[in-house]
Amino acid sequence: QAQLEETGGGSVQAGGSLRLSCTAPGYTINWTCMGWFRQVAGNQRVGIAVIANDGTTSYADSVKGRFAISKDNAKNIFYLQMNSLQPEDTAMYYCAANPFTCLDSIETLASRNFGYWGRGTQVTVSS
């Protein structure tokens, strides 16, 4: 059962932008760590951006300089701004959160410490 909800996916041409949002309906947890992952069918889910509660961020090399993760603590929402999208960014995008720790996630972008997940939102970039 998904505890988080992603919105903002869709189809866009190469060079375009999208902003994904992640909310936690029914939850009032103060997340220590928030992240975005993506998965292409047949491949593993890959971490692309993580933000800690103190604002520390980490990005995969594939999105560095193009994507930005941010959060709104008051609304308990976090975002992924995606600019200069390319066809290789096409994937299902998932948000995830962890109320306990973030150091490992910041250092590795691994999914292992994230216990709360959304169902995913599709992003398709055409050339």
| Per-residue pLDDT tens over the stretch 22-58 | 999 988 888 999 999 999 999 999 999 999 999 999 9
Q: Is the pLDDT of residue 1 over 80?
A: no
Give pLDDT, residue 91.
Answer: 98
Q: Is the pLDDT of residue 126 over 90?
A: yes
Rounded CA separation 109/77 (Å): 20
Q: Is the pLDDT of residue 84 over 80?
A: yes
Q: How confident is the model at residue 83 (pLDDT cuts 50, 70, 90)?
A: very high
